[in-house]
């Protein structure tokens, strides 16, 4: 009987002749900028009704470093180091994407071996990117052990990076025109150990731990769903778009670096919720393993860089003995080499979506204008819509599953 007397809406209140109780008192909550659960510097000013999020307002730009401006002064080969610092969880993809953009402008044809090595490195980067995203999603839902377990595999990938370029996080891998060094026997042994032994085992165990885990699944199914149409409107790309059921992948749509030679599937989700994003990334790791196996098995012989003296640094021992090599070395290092004028858009499939480089060259030695299409920057704006009506703990999970990388977001 009692609840009839409490009006539920305005018309009830009028009918019952009782006052309307305004119980919507909103609280403002600052999530971030430096909250441990946001993995990066994101500020979200949330308007809360109890524990439910009513609306959110994002502030970004905390680690903005003006890459587009800096790039206008740098020779092309020095911009690679800027791209490292965008998506630092998968920097080789950024590096290779940039090299391919410049090669497209210069009209350089890269040898098959270099393209295959690039594919191997890019897929390793994708694996390490997805490892971070999915295992951290586990941490955010309270499952720490999976993260510790698979991070050993990420460490092995970083050792392969070290073998290939000497660095681990900001790799600066490859050169315009190819790779700076060939796959060494050590690197091949390490990659083989990773993709035939340790990673499949570890990842199968990780999936066993999570995929059908009741607590985990209850926590992420139907959290932050987005439809395919809405995702396209918001410019989603990469695993987040594929989780919403749209099978768009740059590697298949516009194959670059010999991706057309490999046999692999594009995993696609249904609801675009956190669980689908998690599962798509899981499956993509298996696909990446498949690609690396094919690339290693069919690795072509031959040079690992294009014969382009004007852009590719000559071997150091030639510089000491050979006049021509010394001249080119000097010209390249001092940034004396002009690029042709032109306008290029080149896209690669980055760790979390289509990473595009829009390059306008006026024929000088530095870009006239360089714009990075950063996937995180573009889809992060859908975040307030995705966490409307959910609790804070769910909002954390959604943010984590979107895999927004602060460096890429702010560039």
Residues numbered 279 to 298 that lie near another protein (CB under 8 A) are none
Q: Does 51 bind another protein (CB under 8 A)?
A: no
CA angle 398, 374, 286 (to 5 degrees): 60
Give the separation between CA 354 and CA 122, rounded to whole angstroms. Answer: 14
Q: What is the DSSP string of 60-113?
A: --TT---HHHHHTTS-GGGTHHHHHTTSTTSHHHHHHHHHHHHHHHHTPPPPHH
> Per CB under 8 A, which region of 178-186, 194-202, 204-212, 344-352 contacts another protein?
344-352
Of 15 and 253, the one with the shorter C-beta distance to another protein is 253
Cα 275 to chain centroid distance, Å, stands at 18
| H helix intervals, 238-273 | 238-243, 250-253
Q: Does 70 bind another protein (CB under 8 A)?
A: yes
Residues belonging to the chain? 411
Q: Does 43 bind another protein (CB under 8 A)?
A: no
Query: Closest separation between CB of residue 358 and another protein, Å?
Result: 6
Query: Closest separation between CB of residue 60 and another protein, Å?
Result: 6
Residue from the set 18, 73, 192, 270 that interacts with another protein by CB under 8 A: 73
Torsion sign (Cα): 326, 83, 357, 367? negative
Residue from the set 354, 384, 404, 408 that interacts with another protein by CB under 8 A: 354
Residue from the set 55, 318, 342, 388 that interacts with another protein by CB under 8 A: 342
Phi, psi values for residue 349, rounded to 5°: -85, 100
Query: Closest separation between CB of residue 69 and another protein, Å?
Result: 6
In the block, residue with structure tokens 């490999």: 262
In the block, residue with structure tokens 């696609």: 268
Q: Are 47 and 389 in contact (CB under 8 A)?
A: no
Of 146 and 225, the one with the shorter C-beta distance to another protein is 225
Query: Closest separation between CB of residue 272 and another protein, Å?
Result: 15
Of 26 and 345, the one with the shorter C-beta distance to another protein is 345
Query: Closest separation between CB of residue 93 and another protein, Å?
Result: 17
Query: Closest separation between CB of residue 110 and another protein, Å?
Result: 16
Residues numbered 82 to 111 that lie near another protein (CB under 8 A) are 104
Of 173 and 398, the one with the shorter C-beta distance to another protein is 398
Q: At what angle do helices 144-165 and 112-140 cross, to 10 degrees?
A: 160
Query: Closest separation between CB of residue 135 and another protein, Å?
Result: 29
CA angle 166, 251, 231 (to 5 degrees): 110
**Count of C-beta atoms within a 10 Å radius of residue 22:** 6
> Residue 358: helix, strand or coil by DSSP?
strand
Of 64 and 270, the one with the shorter C-beta distance to another protein is 64
> Per CB under 8 A, which region of 109-117, 193-201, 205-213, 368-376 contacts another protein?
368-376
Residues numbered 320 to 339 that lie near another protein (CB under 8 A) are 336
If we measure between CA atoms, which residue out of 1, 178, 161 comes closest to residue 77? Answer: 178
Q: What is the DSSP string of 158-205?
A: HHHHHHHHS-SSS---SBTTB-SSPPPHHHHHHHHIIIIIIHHHHHHH
Torsion sign (Cα): 9, 14, 18, 23? positive
Of 19 and 107, the one with the shorter C-beta distance to another protein is 107
Of 8 and 64, the one with the shorter C-beta distance to another protein is 64
> Per CB under 8 A, which region of 120-128, 183-191, 296-304, 366-374 contacts another protein?
366-374
CA angle 302, 306, 311 (to 5 degrees): 155
Q: Does 356 bind another protein (CB under 8 A)?
A: yes
Residues numbered 194 to 233 that lie near another protein (CB under 8 A) are 232-233
> Per CB under 8 A, which region of 6-14, 28-36, 56-64, 203-211 contacts another protein?
56-64
Q: Does 260 bind another protein (CB under 8 A)?
A: no
Q: Which residues bind another protein (CB under 8 A)?
A: 60-61, 64, 66, 68-70, 72-73, 104, 232-235, 246, 248, 253-254, 336, 342-345, 347, 354, 356, 358, 360, 369, 371, 373, 377-382, 410-411
């Amino acid at each position: 009987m009692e609840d009839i007397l409490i009006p539920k809406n305005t018309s009830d209140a009028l009918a019952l002749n009782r006052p309307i109780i305004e119980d919507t008192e909103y609280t403002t909550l600052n999530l971030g900028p430096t909250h441990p659960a946001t993995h990066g510097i994101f500020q979200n000013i949330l308007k809360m009704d109890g524990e439910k999020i009513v609306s959110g307002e994002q502030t970004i730009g905390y680690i903005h470093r003006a890459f587009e401006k800096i790039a206008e002064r740098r020779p092309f080969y020095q911009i690679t180091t800027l791209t490292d610092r965008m998506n630092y969880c998968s920097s080789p993809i950024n590096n290779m994407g940039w090299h391919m953009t410049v090669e497209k402008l210069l009209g350089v044809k890269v040898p098959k071996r270099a393209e295959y090595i690039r594919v191997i490195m890019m897929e390793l980067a994708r694996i390490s990117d997805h490892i971070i995203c999915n295992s951290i999603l586990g941490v955010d839902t309270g499952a720490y052990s999976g993260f510790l377990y698979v991070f050993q595999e990420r460490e092995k990938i970083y050792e392969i990076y070290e073998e290939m370029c000497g660095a681990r996080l900001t790799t600066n891998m490859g050169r315009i025109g190819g790779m700076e060094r060939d796959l060494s026997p050590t690197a091949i042994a390490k990659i083989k150990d990773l993709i035939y032994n340790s990673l499949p085992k570890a990842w199968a165990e990780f999936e066993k731990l999570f995929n059908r885990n009741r607590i985990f699944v209850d926590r992420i199914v139907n959290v932050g769903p987005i439809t395919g149409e809405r995702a396209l409107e918001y410019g989603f790309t990469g695993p987040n778009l594929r989780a919403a059921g749209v099978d768009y992948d740059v590697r298949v749509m516009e194959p670059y670096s010999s991706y057309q030679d490999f046999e692999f599937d594009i995993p696609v989700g249904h609801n675009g919720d956190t669980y689908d994003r998690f599962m798509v990334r899981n499956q993509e790791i298996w696909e990446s393993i498949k690609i690396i196996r094919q690339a290693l098995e069919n690795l072509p012989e031959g040079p690992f860089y294009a014969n382009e003296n004007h852009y590719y640094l000559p071997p150091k021992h030639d510089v000491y003995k050979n006049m021509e090599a010394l001249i080119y070395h000097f010209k390249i290092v001092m940034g004396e080499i002009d690029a042709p004028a032109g306008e290029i858009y080149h896209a690669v499939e980055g760790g979390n979506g289509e990473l595009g480089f829009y390059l306008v060259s006026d024929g000088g030695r530095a870009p006239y204008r360089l714009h990075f299409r950063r996937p995180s920057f573009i889809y992060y704006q859908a975040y307030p819509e995705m966490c409307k009506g959910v609790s804070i703990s769910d909002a954390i999970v959604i943010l984590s599953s979107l895999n927004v990388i602060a460096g890429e977001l702010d560039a």
